[in-house]
Amino acid sequence: MAAAGGGSSCFVLGASGETGRVLLRELLARRAFARVTLIGRRRLSLGEAEAAVEQAVVDFERLGEHAAAFQGHDVGFCCLGTTRAKAGADGFVRVDRDYVAQAAELARAGGCKHFILQSSRGANAQSRFLYLRVKGEVENLVQAVGFDHCTILRPAVLLCRRQESRPMEWIAQQFLGAVARLFPTAYSVPVEMVARAMVACALQPGEGKVKVLENRAIHELGKAVPQQGT
Ligand code: NDP
C-alpha cells in the first residue's frame, strides 16, 4: 500500500483504546504519515514508538482552548468512545457525541481534509436506543462539518483482548468469536481489520464527500491491505 505524501500529517483521537492502539501501530509500521499526533486526555507511554509521535494532552471539556493541537493535519482519525456503564448516560453522550463533534469542528478549522470516524453498526439518529441514537447523531454532526472527505466506519462487535473488564462484552466476544469461524463478516470484526480499513481509507479516500463502510465492507477493505511483514 502506498504511503501518504511526504509532508502529510494526521492526528488520532482515542489512541489508548483497543482500536486506537492498533491503528497507531499500523500507522507507524506503514509509515503512512510523516507526522502523527495523538490527541488525548493523558500522555501515553509508548516505549520505542514515543519518538515517532507527538502527543497533545487536552482537556476535552475545554477543547476550544486546544485549537492548536488540531492545526495543520491532513487526516483525523477518531476512535474515541466510552460506555454508559462507565460514564453514565450523560457522560456517554458527552464523549461519544459532543467531544467528537467539537474535535471535528476544530480539525476542519485547522485545515483537516479527511475525517475518519469509528462509529457503530446500527447507528441511527432516530433510534430508540441511546447508544445507536448517539452514534447516528455524531455521524450527522461530523458529516455536516464539511470535510473534503468524511469516512464513517460502522463495525459490529469488536474482537479484541480488552484490557479493561467488560463482562457482557467478553461473553459476546467469546460467542461471536466462535460464530465468526462460520460467518466471519456477519456479527463481529477484529480491531486489526478496522484499523487497517481506516488506514486504507486515509491513503485512498476515493471519490465523493461521504463514505459509510458497514461491517462487511470493513472486512473486505481490511483484508485487502497486506499485513505487515507479508
Ligand atoms: P476503547 O473504549 O478501548 O477506547 C476509548 C478511547 O476513548 C480511549 O482512548 C479513551 O482514553 C478515550 N476516552 C474515553 N473516555 C474519555 C473521556 N472522558 N475523555 C477523553 N477520552 C476518553 O474504544 P474501542 O476501541 O473499544 O471503541 C472505539 C469506538 O468504536 C467507540 O466509539 C465505540 O463506541 C465504537 N464501537 C465499539 C464496539 C464494541 O464492540 N466495543 C462495536 C462498534 C463500535 P483513556 O484511555 O484515557 O480512557
3-state secondary structure 99-125: HHHHHHHHHHHCCCCEEEEECCCCCCC
Q: Name the strand (E) or helix (H) holding 213.
A: strand 210-213
pTM, full prediction:
0.93
Angstrom distance (rounded) from CA 144 to CA 137: 11
**CA gap 63, 39 in Å, rounded:** 11
Instruction: Tell me which DSSP letter residue 94 carries.
Output: I
Task: Between 3 and 197, name the one with better pLDDT.
Answer: 197
Gap from CA of 55 to ligand 1 centroid (Å): 18
**Interface ipTM:** 0.99
- Protein residue whose Cα sits closest to atom 7 of ligand 1: 80
The per-residue pLDDT for range 1-17, each reduced to its tens digit, is 545 544 599 999 999 99
Spatial separation of the C-alpha atoms in residues 53 and 70, rounded to whole Å: 15
In the predicted structure, residue 81 carries a pLDDT above the cut 80: yes
Spacing, Cα 171 to ligand 1 middle (Å): 19
Element holding 177 (H helix, E strand): helix 167-182
**Can you say how many angstroms the Cα of residue 101 is from the centroid of all Cα atoms in its chain?**
13
| Residues with catalytic function | 131, 135
pLDDT at 7 (0 to 100): 58
C-alpha distance across the termini of the chain, in Å: 12
179 to 154, 173, 183: CA distances (angstroms): 19, 10, 6
Asked if pLDDT for residue 45 goes beyond 80, the answer is yes
Q: How far is Cα of residue 33 from the mean position of the Cα atoms in its chain? A: 16
Q: Which residues line ligand 1 (CB under 6 A)?
A: 14, 16-20, 40-42, 60, 79-82, 95-96, 118, 120, 155, 157-158, 169
